Structure 1
Amino acid sequence: MRRFLLALLLALAGTVAVAGHADAAQTGLRAADPSVIRIGSTYISAQSTGGGIAVRMAASTDALASAAARRVWTDSRGRGEVWAPEIVYDSGRYYIYFSAGTGSAHRMFVISSATADSGYTAETQLALPDNKWAIDGTMFTFNGQRWFVWSGWAGDTNVEQNLYLARMSSPTTPTGARFLISQPRESWERVVGNPFINEAPAPIRDPNGQLHIVYSANGSWSDQYCLGELRLRAGGDPTYVWDWYKSNGCLFGSNRATMMAGWDPTLYVNGPGSHSFVLLNGDIATSPPAGPRFPLMFHAVPKGTPYSWSNRYWYTGTFCWWGSVTYSRANVPGATTNTGFGLKFFE
């Protein structure tokens, strides 16, 4: 009986520890836009650094900051500002997608290698449909189809950043049209503008097999930066904008006024955003079942520090699926509410 009670107390203590907030795990990486995947027991990250891209490999997310940064690509052709590389693993090969350019010339590029930290090809510009300004792109596979999702402009001027989706016939070849799936039109996405922003999309599949795209809203130059999400309705068409339902507020942010009801603001960081779900093989099909927490990396500014791009750090955190979450909308085609899995994020 004593053993049973002791086991019960330990189990309850573990439950409380998991459910509560721990101090945000700030890494030593003073950088933005983390991209991290797990291959076997190795964690692999990609980051923009010094006019190029560096890859780190470590036995844990916490150890990435102290791992050697191996430069895998240098902007030898003068492409311009190199932003937000995303590392993807597909059919035994690594692909790093990144944006490069200056001003309105930003476009998406890709390099690839059979080895995570060396041997990458020269960069190739992705032939995205409409050839407009594009950043923060990444590839994923959903229901047997490769897709590319990115943040871009509708036209040639910087009015707002929308989220777009296109099919891929291979990891380097977009095909067909681009499809608009989100615009920053909700009040909680428009606290900071000029331009209004939806960016840094990260796809993931929930325990019911539905597709989600979690993204950053509001300007990254403000502590209003936060994560919201899109959920594709069960059986929905990813290319049809009204099959997507948007969270009714930030799901991970530092300002209570913009948080979705039932979600709390951060305790230790300001402006969390531009995150990475740390999944096995980077495959959205390996996302967690309902209940357990899985690793997360995001960038943010420590509370008590002036909010600026130069004060952003990579943080380790966790996330889990949250059931029976209803998103609602008004004055649009189709059903006005949709209930399914949402996401909880933990510092």
Structure 2
Amino acid sequence: MKIPRRLGVAGLAAALALVPALFTAPQADAAQSIRAADPSVLRIGGTYVSVQSMNGGIAVRQASSPDGLGAAAARQVWSDTRNLGEVWAPEIHLDGGRYYIYFSAGRGAAHRMYVISSATADSGYSGETRLALPDDKWAVDGTMFVFNGQRWFVWSGWAGDTNVEQNLYIARMSSPASTTGGRFVISQPRESWERVVGNPFINEGPEAIKDPGGQLHIVYSANGSWSDQYCLADLRLRAGGDPTYVWDWYKSNGCLFGSNRATMMPGWDPTLYVNGPGHHTFVLLNGDIDTSPPAGPRFPLMFHAVPKGTPYSWENRFWYTGTFAWWGNITYSRANVPGATTNTGWSLKFFE
């Protein structure tokens, strides 16, 4: 398939310099690496660092390529010595030369976000600190990013104290370990294509990235993670928009990466090799959205999914390597809301 915007020789060379040779060619069939869910991977120089929940705690792997992470030793960096409960979806970030791992822990309605930090990727982490998120409600899948000089925290959570639906919320951060001000909803699972499987209906796994025009995107997972309807969709912040104002965000009109044609956005095709791709990670240099790739060839991605021909269950999820490319001049439309009903800009294509 044709990449939407031509690059000159210099532009193409600059784009390729951001990407290891592993990702300069399409991957027809994504490689399985780790039998697990919720990958989080960043690149530090030529080293890829991943974090995952395992053995009642959190482990870090390091390798020279994303595909190499599966064979790399998993080093336990934190254990649940206080018996907080289930440990879900850790996310690793680098900020000011220090590593921060955000994760959710708890039982039932008690799930809250925590953070640990270290000067070294795979050792020396502090004890956990609970993030004092505004309104103090059930929270999972939290991740930090910096946009236009401001730190932000985005996560999936409940509006109240009951499990009705999971919304995406955003809050400003005053430091990598603390938020300030209120929480603001930026997405709710209200579109028909993200309500195929529910009870509860779900928006979760948010990941931030900047497009070639500098606009902010939050790519997230929709539909129940226990179903092959799980998929990735996009929120695009309008140019000059306020990240805390829900109507400045425009949602893709369907899944951008999924295994069911009926829920895909027009012009996007379902997967060939896996079912229910979701909860991805953009593999960015230093995990920094200011290193988001330009338009051009495909760039590294990891996601979890279940291989086709295998019963869909949490136990059958694997981490996969894949790629993505920016796709230009794409209109997202909406109705019966304040503001403009359409917004045209960059979207994303995902490849196994």
Asked whether the two chains share a fold, i.e. TM above 0.5, the reply is yes
40, 43, 66: which one aligns with 2:45: 40
Aligned to 1:26: 32
Asked whether the 8 Å contact 2:84–2:106 carries over to 1, the reply is: yes
Q: Secondary structure at the match of 1:25?
A: coil
Amino acid at match of 2:324: F
Asked whether the 8 Å contact 2:24–2:297 carries over to 1, the reply is: no
Displacement of 1:295 in angstroms is 0.5
Displacement of 1:291 in angstroms is 1.3
Measure, in 1, the Cα distance between the counterparts of 2:91 and 2:147.
Answer: 18
Displacement of 1:19 in angstroms is 8.4
Residue 223 (structure 1) aligned with residue 228 (structure 2): yes
Aligned to 1:62: 67
Displacement of 1:288 in angstroms is 0.7
Deviations 1:159-178 (A, max 9, x none): 00000000000000100000
Measure, in 2, the Cα distance between the counterparts of 1:144 and 1:272.
Answer: 32
309, 315, 333: which one aligns with 2:314: 309
Residue 99 (structure 1) aligned with residue 112 (structure 2): no
Residue 77 (structure 1) aligned with residue 85 (structure 2): no
Displacement of 1:25 in angstroms is 1.4
Deviations 1:174-230 (A, max 9, x none): 000000000000000000010000000000011110000000000000000000010
Amino acid at match of 1:222: S
Displacement of 1:94 in angstroms is 0.2
Residue 285 (structure 1) aligned with residue 290 (structure 2): yes
Amino acid at match of 1:129: P
Measure, in 2, the Cα distance between the counterparts of 1:85 and 1:304.
Answer: 29
Residue 166 (structure 1) aligned with residue 201 (structure 2): no
Asked whether the 8 Å contact 2:256–2:348 carries over to 1, the reply is: yes
Aligned to 1:321: 326
Measure, in 2, the Cα distance between the counterparts of 1:54 and 1:243.
Answer: 37
What is the aligned-residue RMSD (CA, Å)? 1.1
After superposing on structure 2, the runs of 4+ consecutive aligned residues of structure 1 that deviate more than 4 Å are: 17-21
Quote the sequence identity (%).
Answer: 82
**Superposition TM-score, scaled by structure 1 size:** 0.94
Sort the Cα spacing of 1:197 and 1:339 in 2 relative to 1 into closer, same or farther, 3 A: same
Displacement of 1:21 in angstroms is 6.0
Displacement of 1:18 in angstroms is 7.3
Asked whether the 8 Å contact 2:102–2:143 carries over to 1, the reply is: yes
Aligned to 2:339: 334
User: Aligned runs of 1:75-154 on 2, under 5 Å?
Assistant: 75-154=80-159
**Superposition TM-score, scaled by structure 2 size:** 0.93
Amino acid at match of 1:96: I
User: Aligned runs of 1:259-298 on 2, under 5 Å?
Assistant: 259-298=264-303
Aligned to 2:259: 254
Displacement of 1:20 in angstroms is 6.3
Residue-pair matches, total? 330
Q: List alignment gaps of at least 5 residues for structure 2.
A: 1-22
Amino acid at match of 2:138: W
Aligned to 1:240: 245
Q: Secondary structure at the match of 2:61?
A: strand
190, 193, 196: which one aligns with 2:195: 190
Measure, in 2, the Cα distance between the counterparts of 1:305 and 1:211.
Answer: 36
Amino acid at match of 1:229: D
Asked whether the 8 Å contact 2:26–2:323 carries over to 1, the reply is: no
Sort the Cα spacing of 1:267 and 1:78 in 2 relative to 1 into closer, same or farther, 3 A: same
Measure, in 2, the Cα distance between the counterparts of 1:303 and 1:20.
Answer: 20
Q: Secondary structure at the match of 1:285?
A: helix
Amino acid at match of 2:340: A
Displacement of 1:40 in angstroms is 0.5
Q: Secondary structure at the match of 1:266?
A: coil
Q: List alignment gaps of at least 5 residues for structure 1.
A: 1-16
Asked whether the 8 Å contact 2:25–2:298 carries over to 1, the reply is: no
Sort the Cα spacing of 1:18 and 1:255 in 2 relative to 1 into closer, same or farther, 3 A: farther
Q: Secondary structure at the match of 2:235?
A: strand
Deviations 1:37-71 (A, max 9, x none): 00010000000001100000000000000001000
206, 210, 214: which one aligns with 1:209: 214
Aligned to 1:344: 349
Amino acid at match of 1:256: R
Amino acid at match of 2:346: F
Displacement of 1:266 in angstroms is 0.1
Displacement of 1:277 in angstroms is 0.1
Deviations 1:55-100 (A, max 9, x none): 0000000000000100000000000000000000001000000000
